[in-house]
């Protein structure tokens, strides 16, 4: 699965008005050229930077991330967010957006989904912000096997894109829908019936393939037109068509795919060539073309194979197991498959459980207070300890920002500034929001049974009925009783 292609397209579309040359370079699949369009901002001192440079710094961060320069990207994003200053609305949204993509490319699915969900839920978010957030959610949910939730996000994105003045958004949604279809076709093939990660996801789905096709029919319609058609989009569509042919058993598609994976720069981003090889291997296995799968696996070098360039190595281990069977090495096949099963279960435990589908009524997932929380990911390392302390002491009604500041040995003002600059909200607002999230989760999960609503709220440190009623409605657009009884 290629997050970077869709990240590049969303970056190009979201910055098209402010930076047309940068956008054109990305759409032309020229990531180096895109970087060169904005790298002059590096020559500006902190005092010389103005609000007009925010877009250039965001673009610099995006293009750095696409080229595999993660640390440079993080620094560019940090400078951009610092320039936003007192504009808390944009800072909140940009913090979620930037961190969401960084986490996605590190396979931190749970925290990434939470970032994009917050982005979609923010009342200050523009239509483009929400579209980008929905596409991010769809990508995450697909990659962890929650296809119904991915489709929910994509359907909402299609509705927004239909009304958007930029035709590219609608083409992007249709391309991602095609991506999902091809990837599901590969992993749903009978010859890959022992791919437990995906077979378990299919068995958990409440809809058949035919029902899904009917439901997603509108999303595939390309009602928008761009002239000329972006090269990046055209290349991706051709690549998906070749994979589709391979799944159908058409060996003639292999030569063009070999050519593509021998030029990894066309995929962009560190490790993306490795993922392309895995796509081709799985498509070949799905189409019964085991010899082609074997030839591609040989192209994976030792560094790619050992590190996998991914946090989760599920697909590589599975593909290696299947090819080892073909080579007549059952012992090695069993070794790879055992590692694959262990890795798949670990991924399911650490990522899938924490990501809930997009809530249709409120447009987002219910926040948790886990170690992979997106708020923690967006804070500087020192202040993650402060956030962890908040999470661990939420149930205490007397928890104060002064106490939190003392815990990490900083002044209360320093704590306030660090939170506002990093995530756009104060520590006291974080405490209030997390408490209300906890109350809502308990009410939805039925943990309030046998106790009053206020007793449930008290367990989360909420000591005022008035604060509960007002804050709950402000955060969720409904009362606690409406949450329970609908």
What would the pLDDT profile of 217-269 be if each residue is shown by its tens digit? Answer: 888 877 667 778 999 999 999 999 999 999 999 999 999 999 888 776 666 66
Q: What is the distance, to the nearest Å, from the Cα of residue 63 to the centroid of all Cα atoms in its chain?
A: 17
Q: Average of pLDDT values for 183-207?
A: 85
Q: Which pLDDT does position 363 carry in this prediction?
A: 38
- Asked if the model's pLDDT at residue 372 lies above 70, the reply is no
CA distance 289 to 319: 13
Q: Which of 119-123, 137-141, 298-302, 373-377 has the lowest mean pLDDT?
A: 298-302
CA distance 22 to 17: 10
The reply to whether 277 falls in a domain is: yes
The reply to whether 477 falls in a domain is: yes
128 neighbors 164 (Cβ within 8 angstroms): yes
- Asked if the model's pLDDT at residue 195 lies above 50, the reply is yes
The reply to whether 213 falls in a domain is: no
Same domain, 315 and 390: no
In degrees rounded to 5, what are phi and psi of residue 110?
Answer: -60, -50
Same domain, 332 and 397: no
Q: What is the DSSP string of 320-341?
A: HHHHHHHTT-HHHHHHHHHHHH
Which positions ≥6 away from 287 have C-beta within 8 Å? Answer: 189, 191, 246, 247, 248, 249, 250
Which positions ≥6 away from 252 have C-beta within 8 Å? Answer: 245
The reply to whether 150 falls in a domain is: no
Kindly indicate the confidence band of residue 309, based on its pLDDT and cuts at 50, 70 and 90: very low
Q: Average of pLDDT values for 324-340?
A: 93
- Asked if the model's pLDDT at residue 98 lies above 80, the reply is yes
The reply to whether 102 falls in a domain is: no
pLDDT, averaged across the chain: 86
Same domain, 386 and 324: no
Q: How many domains does the chain have?
A: 2
The reply to whether 263 falls in a domain is: yes
The reply to whether 301 falls in a domain is: yes
The reply to whether 196 falls in a domain is: no
Q: In a 3-state reduction of DSSP, which class is residue 50?
A: coil
Same domain, 460 and 383: yes
Q: Which domain holds residue 324?
A: 239-350
């Amino acid at each position: 699965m290629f997050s970077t292609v869709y990240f590049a397209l969303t970056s190009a579309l979201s910055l098209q008005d402010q930076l047309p040359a940068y956008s054109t370079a990305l759409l032309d699949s020229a990531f180096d050229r895109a970087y060169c369009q904005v790298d002059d901002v590096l020559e500006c001192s902190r005092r010389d930077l103005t609000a007009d440079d925010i877009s250039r710094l965001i673009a610099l961060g995006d293009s750095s991330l696409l080229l595999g320069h993660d640390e440079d990207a993080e620094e560019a994003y940090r400078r951009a967010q610092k320039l936003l200053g007192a504009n808390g609305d944009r800072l909140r949204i940009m913090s979620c957006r930037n961190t969401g993509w960084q986490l996605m490319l590190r396979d931190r699915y749970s925290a990434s989904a939470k970032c994009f969900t917050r982005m979609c839920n923010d009342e200050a978010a523009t239509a483009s912000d929400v579209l980008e957030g929905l596409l991010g959610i769809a990508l995450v949910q697909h990659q962890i096997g929650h296809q119904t939730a991915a489709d929910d996000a994509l359907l909402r994105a299609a509705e927004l894109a239909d009304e958007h003045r930029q035709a590219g958004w609608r083409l992007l949604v249709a391309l991602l829908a095609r991506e999902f279809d091809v990837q599901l076709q590969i992993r749903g093939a009978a010859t890959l019936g022992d791919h437990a990660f995906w077979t378990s996801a299919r068995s958990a789905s409440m809809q058949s393939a035919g029902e899904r096709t009917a439901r997603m029919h509108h999303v595939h319609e390309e009602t928008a037109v761009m002239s000329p058609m972006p090269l990046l989009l055209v290349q991706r569509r051709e690549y998906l068509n070749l994979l589709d042919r391979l799944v159908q058993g058409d060996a003639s598609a292999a030569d063009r795919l070999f050519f593509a994976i021998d030029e990894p720069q066309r995929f962009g981003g560190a490790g993306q060539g490795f993922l392309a090889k895995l796509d081709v291997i799985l498509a070949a296995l799905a189409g019964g073309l085991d010899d082609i799968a074997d030839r591609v696996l040989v192209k994976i070098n030792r560094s790619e194979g050992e590190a996998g360039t991914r946090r989760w190595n599920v697909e590589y281990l599975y593909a290696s197991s299947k090819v080892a069977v073909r080579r007549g090495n059952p012992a090695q096949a069993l070794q790879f498959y055992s590692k694959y099963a262990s890795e798949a279960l670990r991924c399911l435990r650490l990522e899938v459980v924490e990501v809930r589908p997009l809530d249709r009524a409120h447009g987002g997932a219910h926040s948790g207070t886990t170690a992979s929380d997106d708020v923690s990911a967006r804070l500087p390392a020192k202040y993650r300890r402060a956030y962890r302390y908040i999470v661990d002491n939420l149930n205490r009604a007397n928890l104060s920002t002064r106490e939190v500041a003392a815990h990490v040995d900083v002044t209360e003002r320093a704590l306030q500034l660090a939170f506002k600059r990093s995530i756009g909200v104060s520590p006291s607002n974080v405490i209030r929001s997390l408490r209300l999230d906890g109350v809502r989760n308990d009410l939805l999960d039925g943990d309030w049974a046998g106790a009053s609503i206020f007793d449930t709220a008290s367990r989360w440190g909420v000591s005022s009925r008035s604060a509960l009623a007002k804050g709950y409605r402000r955060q969720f657009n409904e009362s606690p009783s409406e949450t329970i009884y609908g």
